[in-house]
């Protein structure tokens, strides 16, 4: 009688024992059982989905549980029954927690967080021995996710200073959508407590708080949350006043001026810029800030159609930037040659000087390295509108294509909103093949978001 043919494990290819009637060898069966008996190890970008971010923001463990189970990273959605087996709960109990009121018991919250490996910096409560933290040096993954590692002690002001630098670096690549909740939580948990409980809090701490609050406003603005941005900018001004820091007060006015431009209030923009110029010290340490203020004044004048005032303000902005000291004020946002070129391009476009506007927009693309994703995206959007104003549909679509390629890396509703606005302006020209192709790419690439209605 012939021997039965050898059988092999479908997982690893090892020869199966004669008495093994299954399709996997013993070690593979044990590994498979172990994988199902505990949560899987997930990459850092797992936690960056909109559903998970919203769930953490809602401070509802049931919503976090559902978002965890349904995360696209899993090959198949994890069932409530399987998740319950990890937590020592029945399927019915998991269902009630996911659909019912938020859990408030700290022991239960801690059990869920530890079992599922929830990152401490995203939680709304502290794990015993593992306080919430923020990224010391954020790492941007290929998909644009933020990896946040907690700080390990050290001087409080130095910690805040390091965080501010890290946040600004991440913002240039990621946009405000992903970073805003992290920065706000850091302000609330790490910065705000340093401003109270002391008879004479150091002015440096108020300066740090003002700078980070101003940054939070810009992140909210980038996420198309203009009302929140306005609140942050007002708070930043108050904190700068408490610090007796006129330069930071002026920076908050710059931010408010920019917001006025976005709401098409050019006179308010100019008024706020002039108020900032009256506050800021006239010295090289603040040269970049004074240049930025003059740039806002130029933008407001261009939007109002007052060409002489615009050109005069642009000249002043160039002079101030030329005499600026590189180090300058440590808590001021950077403003450099590329930033001024970007503002100049918008001014000249609004004045109808399209050739010079194009030259300035291209200068930004020459100066900005590829890692400055958002800056390059906005310059390409300016370039697209210049081409469109000139009647160059192919040029507008080509510049728009450059922006589309960057949207996967960015969480910037402003970029998405301006791309949609470009698409609406191109919509009447669907008889042109390049326009039809571009509009198809826009429809396929852009996520549905609240910015869809923003022009």
Contact status, residue 94 vs residue 82, Cβ threshold 8 Å: no
| Non-local CB neighbours of 153 within 8 Å, separated by 6+ positions | 159
pLDDT value at residue 179: 78
420-430 in b/e form (b: 16+ CB < 10 A) is: bbbbeebeebe
Contact status, residue 77 vs residue 65, Cβ threshold 8 Å: no
pLDDT value at residue 254: 93
pLDDT value at residue 447: 58
pLDDT value at residue 300: 95
Half-sphere exposure of 176 (CA within 13 A, CB side): 22
When pLDDT is cut at 50, 70 and 90, the band that residue 41 belongs to is confident
Taken in order of first residue, the domains within the chain and their CATH numbers are 1-36 (no CATH), 38-122 (1.10.260), 139-392 (1.25.40.10)
Average pLDDT over residues 84-99: 88
Q: How far is the CA of 449 from the CAs of 172, 217, 330, 413, in angstroms?
A: 21, 20, 36, 8
Task: Give the residue with greater pLDDT, 447 vs 314.
Answer: 314
- The answer, yes or no, to whether residue 188 has pLDDT greater than 80, is yes
pLDDT value at residue 275: 94
State residue 8 phi and psi, 5-degree precision: -130, 150
pLDDT value at residue 301: 95
Identify the DSSP state of 293.
H
Helix (H, G, I), strand (E, B) or coil at 355: helix
Q: How far is the CA of 197 from the CAs of 59, 126, 200, 202, in angstroms?
A: 27, 21, 9, 12
- Nearest-CA neighbor of 419 among 433, 436, 439? 439
Output the DSSP codes for 356-411: HHHHHHHHHHHHS-TT-HHHHHHHHHHHHHHHHHHT-HHHHHHHHHHHHTTTTT--
- 372 exposure class (CB count in 10 Å sphere: 0-12, 13-18, 19+): middle
- The answer, yes or no, to whether residue 156 has pLDDT greater than 50, is yes
pLDDT value at residue 33: 46
Q: At what angle do helices 266-279 and 287-304 cross, to 10 degrees?
A: 160
Cα(370)–Cα(360) distance, integer angstroms: 18
Cα(411)–Cα(373) distance, integer angstroms: 11
- The answer, yes or no, to whether residue 449 has pLDDT greater than 60, is no
What mean pLDDT value characterizes the chain? Answer: 80
- Nearest-CA neighbor of 120 among 133, 105, 104? 133
Reported in sequence order, the residue ranges of 111-259 that DSSP labels E, i.e. its strands, are 139-140, 146-147
Average pLDDT over residues 8-26: 66
**Residue position matching structure tokens 């040659």:** 337
- The answer, yes or no, to whether residue 165 has pLDDT greater than 90, is no
Average pLDDT over residues 117-142: 61
Cα(77)–Cα(72) distance, integer angstroms: 8
- The answer, yes or no, to whether residue 136 has pLDDT greater than 60, is no
pLDDT value at residue 1: 45
pLDDT value at residue 417: 84
- The answer, yes or no, to whether residue 371 has pLDDT greater than 60, is yes
- Nearest-CA neighbor of 372 among 319, 316, 425, 410? 410
Cα(192)–Cα(134) distance, integer angstroms: 15
- Nearest-CA neighbor of 65 among 45, 35, 93? 93
When pLDDT is cut at 50, 70 and 90, the band that residue 198 belongs to is low
Average pLDDT over residues 284-288: 86
Cα(371)–Cα(378) distance, integer angstroms: 14
Q: How far is the CA of 353 from the CAs of 270, 304, 418, in angstroms?
A: 21, 15, 21
pLDDT value at residue 146: 44
Cα(311)–Cα(317) distance, integer angstroms: 10
Output the DSSP codes for 74-119: SSSPPPHHHHHHHHT--HHHHHHHHHSSPP--HHHHHHHHHHHT--
Identify the DSSP state of 23.
S
Task: Give the residue with greater pLDDT, 135 vs 399.
Answer: 399
Most confident of 52-66, 297-311, 324-338, 407-421: 297-311
pLDDT value at residue 11: 59
pLDDT value at residue 284: 82
Average pLDDT over residues 222-235: 86
pLDDT value at residue 143: 39
- The answer, yes or no, to whether residue 266 has pLDDT greater than 60, is yes
When pLDDT is cut at 50, 70 and 90, the band that residue 53 belongs to is confident
């Amino acid at each position: 009688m012939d021997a039965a043919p050898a059988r092999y494990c479908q997982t690893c290819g090892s020869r199966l024992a004669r008495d093994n009637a299954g399709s996997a060898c013993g070690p593979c069966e044990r590994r498979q059982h172990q994988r199902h008996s505990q949560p899987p190890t997930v990459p850092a970008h797992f936690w960056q989905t909109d559903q998970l971010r919203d769930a953490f923001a809602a401070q509802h463990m049931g919503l976090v549980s559902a978002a965890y189970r349904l995360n696209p990273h899993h090959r198949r959605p994890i069932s409530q029954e399987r998740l319950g087996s990890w937590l020592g709960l029945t399927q019915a109990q998991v269902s009630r927690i996911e659909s019912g009121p938020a859990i408030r018991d700290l022991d239960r919250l801690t059990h869920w967080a530890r079992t599922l490996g929830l990152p401490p910096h995203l939680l709304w409560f502290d794990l015993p021995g593992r306080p919430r933290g923020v990224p010391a040096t954020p790492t941007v993954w290929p998909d644009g996710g933020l990896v946040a590692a907690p700080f390990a002690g050290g001087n409080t002001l130095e910690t805040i200073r390091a965080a501010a630098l890290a946040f600004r670096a991440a913002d240039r690549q990621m946009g405000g959508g992903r970073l805003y909740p992290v920065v706000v939580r850091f302000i609330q948990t790490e910065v705000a407590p340093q401003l109270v409980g002391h008879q004479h809090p150091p002015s440096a701490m108020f300066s740090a708080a003002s700078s980070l609050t101003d940054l939070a406003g810009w992140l909210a603005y980038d996420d198309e949350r203009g009302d929140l941005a306005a609140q942050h900018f007002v708070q930043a001004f108050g904190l700068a006043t408490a610090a007796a820091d006129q330069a930071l007060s002026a920076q908050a006015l710059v931010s408010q001026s920019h917001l006025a431009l976005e709401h098409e209030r050019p006179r308010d923009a100019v008024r706020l810029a002039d108020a900032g110029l009256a506050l800021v010290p006239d010295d090289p340490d603040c040269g970049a800030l004074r240049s930025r203020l003059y740039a806002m004044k130029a933008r407001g004048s261009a939007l109002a159609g007052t060409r002489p005032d615009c050109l005069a303000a642009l000249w002043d902005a160039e002079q101030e930037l030329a005499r600026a000291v590189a180090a300058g004020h440590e808590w001021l946002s950077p403003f450099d040659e590329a930033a001024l070129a970007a503002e100049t391009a918008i001014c000249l476009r609004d004045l109808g000087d399209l050739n010079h506007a194009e030259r300035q927009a291209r200068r930004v693309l020459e100066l900005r390295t590829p890692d400055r994703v958002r800056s390059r995206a906005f310059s390409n959007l300016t370039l697209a509108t210049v081409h469109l104003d000139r009647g160059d549909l192919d040029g507008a679509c080509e510049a728009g294509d450059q922006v589309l390629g960057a949207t996967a890396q960015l969480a910037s509703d402003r970029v998405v909103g301006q791309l949609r606005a470009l698409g609406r302006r191109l919509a009447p020209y669907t008889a042109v093949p390049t326009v039809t192709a571009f509009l198809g790419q826009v429809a396929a690439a852009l996520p549905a978001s609240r910015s869809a209605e923003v022009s």
